[in-house]
Each structure stands twice: as structure tokens, then as C-alpha cells.
Amino acid sequence: MVGLIGIAVIVLIVIFSIFYGYGLFLKRENIGNLSGSRAKCTICGKTFEKEEMVERAIGIEKLYYFCGECINALHIDYLNKKTNKG
């Protein structure tokens, strides 16, 4: 009896995992289709052409876009912090 319940629980977990993974796959596909050729910078929020931006994927479904101005500002901040330490 306990073995049958254990098997049923494992089957339910497997079914849930399949549906959850399929949902993530569909969500990822929809994000790609709706995004077009423009995107907002993650830092400043301005909209640019995707070709002008740096794209970084975090995890399975998160894409971040960074414009050149923000990357340059971060680089300057990093260099200032580095020179102040040394």
C-alpha cells in the first residue's frame, strides 16, 4: 500500500515537472516572438535597436539589454572605484 502511494506521488511530480517545463518553454518562445527589433535598456530604460545593445541571458528565461552609454558609465564607475582603493 505504501509503495503504491509512493509511485503515485512520483508520477504526479513527473507530470507536474513536464507541464512546468513546457510552460517555461512556451513563455520563452513568446518573449522571443513579441520582442521585435527594439528593446529597453535594463539600466536607463531608454529604447534602442537590439543591434546597438549588449544582450545577456540570466537563467532560463531572463534577457537583459544594456546600451553603450550605461556600459560606459558602469566602466567609469568601476575605474573610479578601482583607483580610489589603490
18 and 48 co-located in one domain: no
51 and 11 co-located in one domain: no
pLDDT tens sequence across 29-85: 555 544 578 999 999 999 999 999 999 998 877 889 999 999 999 999 999 999 987
41 and 23 co-located in one domain: no
The whole-number pLDDT of residue 73 equals 96
27 and 41 co-located in one domain: no
The whole-number pLDDT of residue 86 equals 62
The whole-number pLDDT of residue 18 equals 87
15 and 29 co-located in one domain: yes
β-pair partners for 55: 65
Domains: count for the chain: 2
The whole-number pLDDT of residue 33 equals 46
CA dihedral 36, 30, 69, 52 (to 10 degrees): -40
What is the model's pTM?
Answer: 0.55
